[in-house]
């Protein structure tokens, strides 16, 4: 491996690790909750959303890694991914029910619904083709922030592009798989606005 190739690989690894779904959902859902409520209570609802959409699924992946089920958090074999999607669906669904019972702001509930619908599509597509979850989440975070805060957040699609590049550079996905994932993530804005 040449020096340039090794440097690109290290950079791609850093990008994919720093901007992994749980991290983007932690920041993104907290910001969505804050905007939805208009005060600090929304931050708590957003953190609940991040817990259910990102942190619990990431913990499940780590638990399975510890058991030797998967080699790393990327679960490169798409045939092994179905249980992760079911955990995500159950976790987001549980979080949404808690939010509904707790009278959470409508905006955070709509964001949870948008992520739940995105996960159903990811699961469905994944049965036949390895769509990029990382690209979907990176794109969804930007789309949701643009919906609740400002269209200026669309500039953060540069971050989504970096995540897509990193997934391709590491050999986890093809260009088509990250583009499809990013397009699906962008569609969460449609689900958010339509909910």
Report the alpha-carbon distance of residue 91 to residue 116 in Å, rounded: 9
Asked whether residue 1 carries a pLDDT value surpassing 70, the answer given is no
Mean pLDDT in residue range 69-75: 80
Tokens 């994932």, located at residue: 181
> Does the predicted TM-score (pTM) go above 0.85?
yes
Among the listed residues 68, 64, 101, 104, the one whose alpha carbon sits nearest the alpha carbon of residue 83 = 64
Selected residue with higher pLDDT from 183 and 5 = 183
Average of per-residue pLDDT across 70-85: 85
Residue 175 CB burial class (10 angstroms; 0-12, 13-18, ≥19): exposed
Domain-by-domain residue ranges, the chain?
Answer: 3-194
The residue assigned the tokens 């509930």 is 109
Q: What is the pLDDT of residue 13?
A: 96
What is the per-residue pLDDT for 5? 86
């Amino acid at each position: 491996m040449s020096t340039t190739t090794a440097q690109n690989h290290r950079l791609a690894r850093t990008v994919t690790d720093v901007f992994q779904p749980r991290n983007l959902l932690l920041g993104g859902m907290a910001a969505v909750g804050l905007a939805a409520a208009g005060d600090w209570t929304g931050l708590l609802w957003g953190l609940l959303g991040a817990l259910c959409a990102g942190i619990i699924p990431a913990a499940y992946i780590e638990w399975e890694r510890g058991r030797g089920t998967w080699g790393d958090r990327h679960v490169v074999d798409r045939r092994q991914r179905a249980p992760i999607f079911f955990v995500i669906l159950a976790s987001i669904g549980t979080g949404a029910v808690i939010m509904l019972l707790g009278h959470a702001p409508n905006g955070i509930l709509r964001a949870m619904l948008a992520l739940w619908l995105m996960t159903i599509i990811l699961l469905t597509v994944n049965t036949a083709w390895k769509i990029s979850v990382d690209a979907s989440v990176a794109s969804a975070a930007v789309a949701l922030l643009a919906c609740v805060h400002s269209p200026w957040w669309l500039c953060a699609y540069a971050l989504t592009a970096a995540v897509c590049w990193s997934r391709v550079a590491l050999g986890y996905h093809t260009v088509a798989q990250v583009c499809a994932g990013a397009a699906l993530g962008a569609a969460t804005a449609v689900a958010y606005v339509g909910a």
